């Protein structure tokens, strides 16, 4: 049975498909223990009154030390552990941005070429989102 979370109890987690040409940035979580060592899309929880796109830019600044901008919403929404749901935006670094560094929540970063998307052990709950990304340009069919 698929369990859905009532609208009022949902907390949106925004994840970035941070792109550099046709490469995608994957981030390895360092905490909590049950997620540590698995790979995810950098991002975090949207705060009350915050636009998801603004939350994503803020999270990328805090977690990776970068100056990024969102490009477009990736169609779909994926249930995480309740009450969280994952929404994904493609994003890119703005000109002059520092390179990403694992400042918070992560202990490794990796730019994956389109052919390397499945070379890291993604969090189980991120696999459907990565599968969707793999079907979309610039990672998948043009
Ligand atoms: N950022 C991110 N979180 C994910 C992904 N997949 C997934 O299950 N999660 C979970 C982990 C956390 O329970 C929750 C997001 O938490 P977070 O720790 O990244 O968010 P945050 O920076 O706002 O957290 P906080 O420390 O301020 O509370 O969503 C993903 O791809 N990216």
Q: Which CATH number fits the domain that encloses residue 99?
A: 3.90.79.10
Task: Report if residue 141 sits inside a domain.
Answer: no
Q: How far is the CA of 59 from the centre of ligand 1 (A)?
A: 10
Q: Evaluate if residue 5 carries a pLDDT over 80.
A: no
Nearest CA to ligand 1 atom 5: 40
Task: Report if residue 84 sits inside a domain.
Answer: yes
pTM of the model: 0.94
Task: Report if residue 42 sits inside a domain.
Answer: yes
Q: Evaluate if residue 7 carries a pLDDT over 90.
A: no
When divided into structural domains, the chain yields a total of 1
Q: How far is the CA of 13 from the centre of ligand 1 (A)?
A: 6
Q: Evaluate if residue 137 carries a pLDDT over 80.
A: yes
Task: Report if residue 55 sits inside a domain.
Answer: yes
Q: Evaluate if residue 134 carries a pLDDT over 70.
A: yes
Task: Report if residue 1 sits inside a domain.
Answer: no
Q: How far is the CA of 48 from the centre of ligand 1 (A)?
A: 16
Q: Residues lining ligand 1, CB < 6 A? A: 13, 15, 35, 40-41, 43-45, 59, 80, 84, 86, 105, 123, 125-126
Confidence of residue 1 (pLDDT cuts 50, 70, 90): low
CA distance 65 to 27: 13
pLDDT digits (tens, 9 = 90+) for 27-75: 999 999 999 999 999 999 999 999 999 999 999 999 999 999 999 999 9
**Cis previous bond, 10, omega within 30:** no
Q: How far is the CA of 92 from the centre of ligand 1 (A)?
A: 20
Q: Which of 5, 13, 90 should be mutated for ligand 1, with most atoms under 8 A from CB?
A: 13
Task: Report if residue 53 sits inside a domain.
Answer: yes
Q: Which pLDDT score is estimated for 6? A: 74
Please say whether the beta carbons of 12 and 51 come within 8 A: no
Task: Report if residue 31 sits inside a domain.
Answer: yes
Q: Which pLDDT score is estimated for 9? A: 83
Q: Which pLDDT score is estimated for 41? A: 98
Task: Report if residue 54 sits inside a domain.
Answer: yes
User: What is the rounded end-to-end Cα distance, in angstroms, of the chain?
Assistant: 35
Mean pLDDT value of segment 115-140 = 97
Q: Which pLDDT score is estimated for 3? A: 66
- Of 132, 139, 128, nearest to 25 (Cα)? 139
CA distance 141 to 136: 6
**In this predicted complex, what is the ipTM?**
0.94
Mean pLDDT across the chain: 95
């Amino acid at each position: 049975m698929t369990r859905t979370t009532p609208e009022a109890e949902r907390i949106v987690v925004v994840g970035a498909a941070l792109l550099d040409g046709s490469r995608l940035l994957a981030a390895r979580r360092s905490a909590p223990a049950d997620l540590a060592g698995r790979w995810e899309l950098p991002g975090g929880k949207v705060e009350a009154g915050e636009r998801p796109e603004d939350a994503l830019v803020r999270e990328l600044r805090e977690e990776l030390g970068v100056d990024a901008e969102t490009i477009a919403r990736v169609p779909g929404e994926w249930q995480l552990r309740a009450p969280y749901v994952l929404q994904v935006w493609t994003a890119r670094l703005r000109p002059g941005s520092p390179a990403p560094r694992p400042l918070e929540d992560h202990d490794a970063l990796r730019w994956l070429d389109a052919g390397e998307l499945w070379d890291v052990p993604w969090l189980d709950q991120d696999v459907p989102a990565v599968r969707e990304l793999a079907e979309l340009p610039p990672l998948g069919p043009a």
